Amino acid sequence: MRPIDFTHDPAARSWLVSANQPGSDFPIQNLPFGVFRRAGSAEPWRGGVALGDRVIDLGLLVQAGCLPPAAVEAAALAARPQLNDFIALGPSAWQALRHALFALFALPNTPATIPAAALLEQSEVEHALPLRIGDYSDFYTSIHHALNIGKLFGIPDVSPNFRWLPIAYHGRVSSIGVSGQAVRRPRGQLRPPGAETPVHAPCAWLDYELELGLVVGAANPLGEPVPIGRAEEHLFGICLLNDWSARDIQGWEMAPLGPFLAKNFATTVSPWIVTLEALAPYRCAFERAPGEPAPLPHLIDDAQRAQGGFDIRLSVALESAARRAAGLGAVPLTETSFRHQYWTPAQMLTHHTEGGCNLQVGDLLGSGTISGPTAAEAGAMMELTQAGRQPLQLPGAQGDTESRGFLADGDAVIFRGWCEASGRARIGFGECRGTVLPAL
């Protein structure tokens, strides 16, 4: 577990006024990492840190000699076009850079030593994937999601393994994109309801999955599992993740090996990775409802019991093309918290390695769809609409409404994440947005 220190002080303020705005995702207590360049330019991609409405250009801070010796190497590596080399330095380097940036940008310091060019407007930059992702695995760890999906098919309980191990499958890296991604509706084999044989057609049941992305921060050698007590040392940070899903393709293809084409056409992540250091004030107990089994001993310890969870609040909103054209913005669909998840990030990481599988710096683990205990907390459209049987009604411009059983072409799906509690500084994840393009 990462310590709480002066960088989490809720009273701390930055001389950068926008970082102190109530409701800002990026106050001085957050300092998440991403990769950016000036929008539409041919500038090199480079690493930066979000603060208020700005991006801190780490390379320019290094050049200007603004940083103490202990943080220079970390900042120079974090300024590269991908964050992997910085992350590979390990937790003491992550902490040294966090402390140095806090000292530079928190009051009572003053901006005198910072070159103006090192603070770009977030509205003027574009983002690339912040990581060189070697492997991506996607979990299935919300019991509420699993029960909701089961009920749709008349299955009363989760599969027997669900309560004993964090279920997962190996995913696809090449189609992972950063927020703003345009997602082409896939074509595939699907079997229409009641039909004997499949057809090859555009996906009609296109869905999102509200997830978090867990970024691996330290490798383990092949053949050497990571024990639960060390698992969090192997996690760098967390981003938002949309695991786009073609439900009709999935329903036909997934027996008996699991999802394949239904999941590999797109995955969208948010540009900013919030560090486990920043999330330290928002840890919560690993809790299960009465009657649920305790994990096997290799998947639990006292630290996980006390603080294995994360109280990360999450929302989903949908902006149809018609609402966008009318300037109406997005319709909120869901709000929940990651604290309800059945398995913790550390348990997922330990389970992933228990047979000796080697994880590498920059690997990405999808948390699995995050659905909370009530119907309004469902993390996928499949659950919200009962597989399309109870379509959502989106209010339109002149009192008209649009109906949605699943996603339509032109729809934008917008995830947001934040942590908020009295006596603690609010921090946020920014936005993860993706828009549906029509099938070819």
Torsion, Cα 183 185 188 194, to 10 degrees, reads: 140
Measured from the CB atom, the residue of 379 and 405 that comes closer to Mn ion is: 379
Q: Pick the stretch among 145-153, 208-216, 380-388, 422-430 that binds Mn ion (CB under 5 A).
A: 208-216
How far apart CA 291 and CA 109 sit, in angstroms, is: 53
How far apart CA 215 and CA 133 sit, in angstroms, is: 9
Measured from the CB atom, the residue of 209 and 277 that comes closer to Mn ion is: 209
Q: Pick the stretch among 73-81, 82-90, 205-213, 403-411 that binds Mn ion (CB under 5 A).
A: 205-213
How far apart CA 351 and CA 255 sit, in angstroms, is: 23
**Given 99, 145, 234, 352, the catalytic residue:** 145
383 binds Mn ion (CB under 5 A): no
Alpha carbon of 438 to those of 109, 292, 407: distances in Å? 51, 44, 11
243 binds Mn ion (CB under 5 A): yes
Strands (E), 280-426: 283-284, 309-310, 313-319, 331-337, 364-366, 392-395, 401-404, 412-419
Query: Are the beta carbons of 380 and 208 closer than 8 angstroms?
Result: yes
Residues between 294 and 353 that touch Mn ion (CB under 5 A) = none
Measured from the CB atom, the residue of 138 and 319 that comes closer to Mn ion is: 138
Measured from the CB atom, the residue of 91 and 379 that comes closer to Mn ion is: 379
State the residue number with the nearest CB to Mn ion. Answer: 243
Q: Pick the stretch among 110-118, 137-145, 279-287, 409-417 that binds Mn ion (CB under 5 A).
A: 137-145
DSSP state of 273: B
Q: Pick the stretch among 33-41, 182-190, 203-211, 421-429 that binds Mn ion (CB under 5 A).
A: 203-211
In the complex, minimum distance from the CB of residue 214 to Mn ion, in angstroms, rounded to a whole number: 13
Q: Is 298 a catalytic residue?
A: no
How far apart CA 45 and CA 82 sit, in angstroms, is: 8
Measured from the CB atom, the residue of 7 and 245 that comes closer to Mn ion is: 245
How far apart CA 35 and CA 48 sit, in angstroms, is: 6
The pairing of beta strand 427-437 with beta strand 181-184: parallel
Query: Which residue matches tokens 């008996």?
Result: 256
Q: Pick the stretch among 58-66, 132-140, 173-181, 427-435 that binds Mn ion (CB under 5 A).
A: 132-140
In the complex, minimum distance from the CB of residue 74 to Mn ion, in angstroms, rounded to a whole number: 32
Nearest to 113 by CA among 60, 51, 69: 60
209 binds Mn ion (CB under 5 A): yes
207 binds Mn ion (CB under 5 A): no
In the complex, minimum distance from the CB of residue 366 to Mn ion, in angstroms, rounded to a whole number: 5
In the complex, minimum distance from the CB of residue 380 to Mn ion, in angstroms, rounded to a whole number: 9
Measured from the CB atom, the residue of 85 and 138 that comes closer to Mn ion is: 138
How far apart CA 214 and CA 385 sit, in angstroms, is: 28
Please give the size of the binding site for Mn ion, defined by CB under 5 A. Answer: 3
Residue 269 is which amino acid? V
In the complex, minimum distance from the CB of residue 18 to Mn ion, in angstroms, rounded to a whole number: 34
How far apart CA 125 and CA 37 sit, in angstroms, is: 5
**Number of neighbouring beta carbons within 10 Å of residue 313:** 19
In the complex, minimum distance from the CB of residue 243 to Mn ion, in angstroms, rounded to a whole number: 4
138 binds Mn ion (CB under 5 A): yes
The footprint of Mn ion (CB under 5 A) covers 138, 209, 243
Q: Which residues are catalytic?
A: 145
